[in-house]
């Protein structure tokens, strides 16, 4: 069918606005165009020009399903739980080493030196966690790609995602080491020796 003479048509267009072209000005242009077309009798309704950005457009068309957002929320919650569990386990481990750390402090080791040593000790754990996390993520991606839903087929791991994952694992282990280490090391070394 020929839509050239139709009184009203609707369509979505992608527009890239430069830094010198304000969004409000282009929206005003669209509204004025619709008003002109209505004045000549092509449109019968009041103009309804909209200029959503990419995020708004994705939300309006439900491109990212709610289940994917829920899965992301669960993943971030799980990451937080893992971080606090790692910090608690490292705190328990350091509390068991109170006498050793107290002895080193009594013999003249500075707090900075002890924290540096503990961070170096746990750097191997950080690297192992990063490698294990990457392998687990790769296995999960492979498993998700077997699902019948179309949006699972496009899931992949790019180098930036791997870098962020490895960095997150290393920083998390370092933070989970520093917080309990500072708690243990700031105590009086003589009380640490008596414990």
| pLDDT of 4 | 56
| pLDDT of 2 | 53
Other CB atoms within 10 Å distance of the CB of residue 158: 8
Structure tokens at 31: 């509204």
Mean pLDDT for each 10-residue chunk of the chain (195 residues)?
55 73 81 84 76 82 80 86 79 79 82 83 80 85 82 79 80 76 74 70
Other CB atoms within 10 Å distance of the CB of residue 16: 5
Q: Do 75 and 164 touch, CB atoms closer than 8 A?
A: no
| pLDDT of 1 | 44
| pLDDT of 74 | 92
| pLDDT of 11 | 66
| pLDDT of 21 | 66
DSSP secondary structure of 79-129: HHHHHHHHHHHHHHHHHHTHHHHHHHHHTT--HHHHHHHHHHHHHHHHHHH
pTM more than 0.85: no
Distance of alpha carbon 6 from alpha carbon 23, whole angstroms: 29
């Amino acid at each position: 069918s020929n839509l050239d003479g139709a009184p009203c048509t609707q369509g979505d267009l992608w527009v890239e606005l430069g830094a010198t072209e304000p969004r409000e000005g282009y929206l005003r242009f669209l509204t004025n165009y619709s008003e002109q077309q209505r004045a000549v009798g092509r449109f019968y309704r009041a103009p309804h020009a909209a200029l959503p950005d990419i995020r708004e457009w994705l939300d309006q068309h439900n491109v990212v399903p709610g289940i994917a957002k829920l899965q992301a929320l669960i993943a971030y919650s799980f990451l937080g739980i893992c971080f606090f569990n790692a910090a608690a386990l490292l705190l328990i481990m350091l509390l068991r080493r109170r006498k050793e750390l107290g002895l080193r402090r009594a013999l003249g080791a500075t707090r900075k030196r002890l924290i540096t040593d503990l961070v170096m000790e746990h750097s191997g754990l950080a690297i192992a966690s990063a490698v294990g996390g990457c392998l687990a993520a790769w296995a999960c991606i492979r498993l998700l790609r077997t699902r019948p839903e179309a949006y699972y087929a496009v899931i992949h791991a790019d180098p930036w995602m791997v870098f962020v994952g490895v960095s997150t694992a290393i920083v998390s282990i370092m933070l989970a080491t520093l917080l309990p280490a500072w708690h243990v090391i700031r105590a009086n070394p003589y009380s640490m020796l008596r414990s």
